[in-house]
Amino acid sequence: MNEIIVVLGTVGLFMLLTKFYQRFPHPLTIPLVTTTLVSALTLVIFKIPYETYMEGGEWLQKMLGPAVVALAYPLYNQRTIVMKYKYSILSGIFIAMVTGLMTIYLMLKWIGADDSWMFTALPKSLTTPVAMQVSETIGGIAPLTAVFVMLAGFVGAIIGPLVIKYGKIESAVSRGVSVGSASHGVGLVKLKDYGEQELSVGSLSMGLTAIVGAFLCPLFVYIFM
């Protein structure tokens, strides 16, 4: 019984809040943020333990595996863009991955955060489903990773345009690859405003970053920790 209520309730809430996002598109109104907030508040207000909620939540979560596999389809569709700008995009993704991992690693070492924070924060630039699975693989706390991933997305979508403007990042490919590989899908919401090419390079970069990151994050942990 609980299971059905959670599944139907979440699906209904998600559909409603997706409509809301379509009316008021903004990085802070994306359905992931609003649905998570409303669900979490509901649990807190009605004092429902997370385990009880997860009896149904698990059903939805089981679909995450095949859904990540499905990401191969848009990647396959975008293969012509890869061929056109292969060096710029591939090197950009690699630079973004290394810069992102090194900067977060050094800053967390500097503030003295323990390893569990490190494992949780390292996958922050990957798209949420992959980041959570990578986090679990390397020993991080997946729900907190999701928070950091969202934060990286908001930063890219809201402050990213200032970096692009004052950093004089003028070409479509470099705008797409930098925001797409640092701020995944949430960053893409902003790239739409720049143009079609920024958006498609960005979404391709997001996908490739997820794959490259799934290999590099565990490797980074193995080498540095």
- CB 63 to another protein: min, Å: 5
Nearer Cβ to another protein (196/215) = 215
Nearer to another protein, 10 or 200 (CB): 10
Decide whether 156 or 188 has the Cβ nearer to another protein: 156
Give min distance, CB of 79 to another protein, in A: 7
Distance (Å, rounded) from C-alpha 1 to C-alpha 191?
Answer: 43
DSSP string, 3-65: HHHHHHHHHHHHHHHHHHHHHS--GGG-HHHHHHHHHHHHHHHTT--HHHHHHHHHHHHTTHH
Query: Cβ closer to another protein: 23 or 78?
Result: 78
Q: How far is the CB of 128 from another protein (least distance, A)?
A: 6
- Terminal-to-terminal C-alpha distance of the chain: 45
The rounded distance, in Å, linking the Cα atoms of 152 and 159 is 10
CA distance 77 to 66: 18
Instruction: Work out how close the CB of 195 gets to another protein at its nearest, in angstroms, rounded to a whole number.
Output: 15
